[in-house]
Amino acid sequence: MQTDFAVIGASTVKVDGIEKVTGAAMYAADVMLPGMLYGKIKRSPHPHAKIVSINAGRALALPGVETVLTPDNVPRVKHKGSPAPRGGGLVADQYIFADKARFVGDGLAAVAALSEEIAEEALALIDIEYELLEAVFDIEEAMRTDAPKIHDTEMNLVGPPFMLQRGDVDQGFAEADFLFEHTYSTGRPSPCYMEPNACVCTFENSGKLTIWSSTQSAFMVRGILSEVLDIPLHKIRVIVEHMGGGFGAKQDLYQHEFVCALLAAKSGRPVKMEYTRKEAFMGGRSRHPVTVNLKQGVRQDGTLTARQVLHTSNTGAYASHGLGITAVGCLDIASLYRCEEHQRIEGRAVYTNNPIAGAFRGFGAVQAFFALDSQMDEIAHALNIDPVELRLKNAAGDGDRSPSGHPILGNGLAACLVRGEKEMNWIEERKKTAAQADSRIRRGWGVGTEMHSSGAYPDIKEVSNAILNMNEDGTVKLFTGVADLGTGSLTVMAQIAAEELGIPFKDIQIVYGDTDAVPFDLGAYASRTTYVGGGAVKKAATNLKSQLLALASGKMEVAVEDLEIRDGIISVKGVPSSRVSVKELIQGEGSVPAHTLIGQATHHSKVAYSFAAHFAEVEVDIETGQIQVKQVVAVHEVGQAVNPIGVEGQIEGGIQQGIGHSLTEDYVIDKQTGQSLNASFVDYKMPLAMDMPKIKSIILEEVPHPTAPFGAKGVGEDPIIAIGPAIANAVFDAIGIRFRELPITPEKVLQALKEKQVNVSS
């Protein structure tokens, strides 16, 4: 493992930090153009209704209204909603405007006006006649043979079921000493990014569309807009200067991006559209509620013999990433703990009349590992085996292959468990929980684990590009298409370039966020940015470095292999006095630069796996049902931390989100009316800074991946996955009650305690 890095492994201030803390950073909603109009979308008040007629006459007559769009004057082209090219995992089931309303909030028409206030007023003047249809909100009722059809599909299924079959499950269960079967379910948390969805569109006289958008996938937005709006690809420019969070949910191409472009085209003026917070809930993308029926066979010594799974996800009114979430969840359940001979796993994505569920940090893994790791804890307690010991016995590791066929290198999961167990003094701390069995405040410890791929191969043929241009003063301009959601990705790209080139970090300038200026990139998703995007940057830097060394070789009359670059100085190895600076080399003999050097690369990659183990301490108040997470020891195996402070930030942020998803967060839809019941930050309860526990982040660099830039694997999604089962298992340790449904609210705790008391009394 390389340790003599100059830039890699050093905690570095974000390259865009000053812009953000001073307020100079420009977001999509900050863009103001002369003559700009404001667009708004007319949304359905009904969860399921046929559109009989739409009359926009009164809205058009309102002073200040410039144009109105209805299904009659927009392209009638089905699209997939998500721009990420997830192979065959996406279903084209959306129009720009719905052919019928499928959830409360479905967009049916739009206006552009001189102000937001006028646009809002105009929406109320668009007259829509509905024929109400029966709605379904639960996956069980949606899959009835007589259920109303949301789309023209059998049993409201989004495509065929996912199937993974190995060996003979019945035989595996027959070989087991014990069988464990339970059903686990998760809620519908919202990503709650601070920056609501926004875009600004304008057309040049040439017909070129420029769109400023808050998106994780600028090039994919360009591609889908081109396809649906029939605009040549080269006549669309997408700009993403800064983003205020996305968490995967801004992968999708949202309705307002199509509508904004069409309003600008029809009016001949720039148009801005910005979601309200309520619209970000209603028209955004929540996490898929998932139900997992999990049955596992196990021997007395804790060895797994068979696994059977039925994984059912509620994708809402449109498919979005429903099939991908289902497939990933099924594969994850099959991956973390060895059960190689006998497995049968089936996954179904189901349409309902709920708001759309989509990609969200921990894509499919949050739900799957909550079920799997909770049941592993149940098995450990039933067999009287220490929960860490059971996990170590079955942990996937070096020599194993994931269900997708990719090798697992090293024993990262075991390393995380061993380090965490030692760090928190697991055995002794858990003994203390029994001592407070009669107190009002009950204390417990739990462990949760996970593994996650960097990139989405083989579903997506992962590719990134990078270009490095040497400036005349010896500095370098890096052109990258990677997206930075606020995660510090651009800083990491600059660190990788500086390290490979051997020049100071400050000498890297970054050009990003403009499809007319930077090379193609698929976007930010699946913890791919460092692994895939960084791989392209490193490869391009290697290319540029070879040109520098070749140039220096001729000037210094030394073989290329005898030269090295450190801190912007090219010198002969072992003879530091024989040297030339990069700046001097580029400038040549005169005042005008003598050389133009450009390094570029296209990088394809497959998969690298990162691992984590979280140990959580909770306190449960048995009189109020309140659960408080007191501390978390989070151990992450990342291969190589490029920017350690950035890795720690990802871990802490993921834990905060995971605490919310486990204890308080659930976007609630009324099952009678389909209306949102908590679509605001007043009613939707997220943990704040004052709710955060003490967190000890431990970064392991046990298994640098040979295909990763300097061995670095992804870390963005891992922490939100491991914390959920850790909390649920800690609650069981505290009060002896197993919760198989998230979130674990005080009401659920009190009800379970009451039922436990009744059972004891009877």
Q: What's the pLDDT tens digit per position in 398-423? A: 999 988 788 999 999 999 999 999 99
Residues 6+ apart with CB under 8 A from 170: none
pLDDT computed for residue 406 by the predictor: 85
Domain match, 106 and 250 both? yes
Looking at residues 471-483, what average pLDDT do you find?
A: 95
Domain match, 129 and 139 both? no
Q: How far apart are CA 490 and CA 484, in angstroms?
A: 6
Q: Which domain holds residue 181?
A: 134-189+285-394
Q: Does residue 84 surpass a pLDDT of 80?
A: no
pLDDT computed for residue 129 by the predictor: 98
Q: Residue 413 falls within a domain, yes or no?
A: no
Q: Does residue 75 surpass a pLDDT of 60?
A: yes
Q: How far apart are CA 283 and CA 546, in angstroms?
A: 49
pLDDT computed for residue 757 by the predictor: 84
Per-residue pLDDT of 248-271, as tens digits, reads 999 999 999 999 999 999 999 999
Domain match, 140 and 232 both? no
How many domains does the structure of the chain reveal? 3
Q: Residue 542 falls within a domain, yes or no?
A: yes
pLDDT computed for residue 756 by the predictor: 87
Inter-residue contact 333 to 307 (CB < 8 Å): yes
Looking at residues 44-53, what average pLDDT do you find?
A: 98
Q: Does residue 85 surpass a pLDDT of 60?
A: no
Q: Residue 752 falls within a domain, yes or no?
A: no
Ranges assigned E (strand) in 11-170 = 37-43, 49-55, 65-69, 100-101, 107-113, 127-132, 162-166
DSSP letter for 234, please: G
Q: How far apart are CA 92 and CA 640, in angstroms?
A: 39
Domain match, 303 and 387 both? yes
pLDDT computed for residue 430 by the predictor: 87
Domain of 220, CATH number, reads 3.90.1170.50
Looking at residues 124-136, what average pLDDT do you find?
A: 98
Q: Does residue 279 surpass a pLDDT of 70?
A: yes
Phi, psi of 85 (to 5 degrees): -80, 75
Using pLDDT thresholds of 50, 70 and 90, give the confidence band for residue 216. Answer: very high
- Write out the H or E segment, with its range, that includes residue 689: none
Q: Does residue 588 surpass a pLDDT of 80?
A: no
Of 247, 282, 317, the position where a domain reaches its end is 282
Q: Residue 668 falls within a domain, yes or no?
A: no
Task: Give 614's strand partners.
Answer: 448, 634
Per-residue pLDDT of 335-391, as tens digits, reads 999 997 899 999 999 999 999 999 999 999 999 999 999 999 999 999 999 999 999
Per-residue pLDDT of 555-567, as tens digits, reads 999 999 999 999 9
Per-residue pLDDT of 528-547, as tens digits, reads 999 999 999 999 999 999 99
Domain match, 336 and 242 both? no
Statement: the pTM of the whole predicted model exceeds 0.85? yes
Domain match, 479 and 571 both? yes
Domain match, 344 and 224 both? no
The full DSSP string for 471-524 is -TTS-EEEEE----SSS-HHHHHHHHHHHHHTS-GGGEEEE-SBTTTS--B--S
Of 282, 297, 317, the position where a domain reaches its end is 282
Looking at residues 699-724, what average pLDDT do you find?
A: 97
pLDDT computed for residue 460 by the predictor: 87
Looking at residues 440-454, what average pLDDT do you find?
A: 96
Domain match, 203 and 268 both? yes
pLDDT computed for residue 1 by the predictor: 61
Q: Residue 46 falls within a domain, yes or no?
A: yes
pLDDT computed for residue 87 by the predictor: 46
Inter-residue contact 355 to 145 (CB < 8 Å): no
Task: Specify the length of the chain in residues.
Answer: 762
- Write out the H or E segment, with its range, that includes residue 120: helix 116-124
Inter-residue contact 3 to 10 (CB < 8 Å): no
Of 550, 584, 604, the position where a domain reaches its end is 604
Residue 619 backbone class (left: φ over 0; alpha: ψ -120 to 50; beta: rest): beta
Q: Residue 310 falls within a domain, yes or no?
A: yes
Domain match, 218 and 334 both? no
Please give the residue that has the higher pLDDT: either 601 or 436: 601
Which of 658, 45, 667, 686 shows the shortest CA–CA distance to 314?
A: 667
Q: Residue 714 falls within a domain, yes or no?
A: no
Looking at residues 687-708, what average pLDDT do you find?
A: 96
Domain of 161, CATH number, reads 3.30.365.10
Inter-residue contact 114 to 37 (CB < 8 Å): yes
pLDDT computed for residue 86 by the predictor: 42
Inter-residue contact 50 to 130 (CB < 8 Å): yes
Per-residue pLDDT of 728-753, as tens digits, reads 999 999 999 999 999 999 999 999 99
Using pLDDT thresholds of 50, 70 and 90, give the confidence band for residue 149. Answer: very high
Burial 124-152 (b: 16+ CB within 10 A, else e): ebbebebeebebbbebebbbeeebeebbe
Domain match, 490 and 542 both? yes
pLDDT computed for residue 590 by the predictor: 63
Q: How far apart are CA 111 and CA 126, in angstroms?
A: 9
Q: Residue 666 falls within a domain, yes or no?
A: no
Per-residue pLDDT of 289-313, as tens digits, reads 999 999 999 999 999 999 999 999 9
Residues 6+ apart with CB under 8 A from 649: 488
pLDDT computed for residue 404 by the predictor: 78
Task: Give percent of the chain above pLDDT 70.
Answer: 97
Looking at residues 6-34, what average pLDDT do you find?
A: 96
Q: What is the dihedral of CA 592, 597, 598, 599, to 10 degrees?
A: -150
Looking at residues 558-586, what average pLDDT do you find?
A: 93
Q: Find out whether the peptide bond into 161 is cis, omega within 30 degrees of 0.
A: no
Domain match, 263 and 148 both? no
Domain match, 315 and 221 both? no
pLDDT computed for residue 405 by the predictor: 81
Average pLDDT, the chain: 95
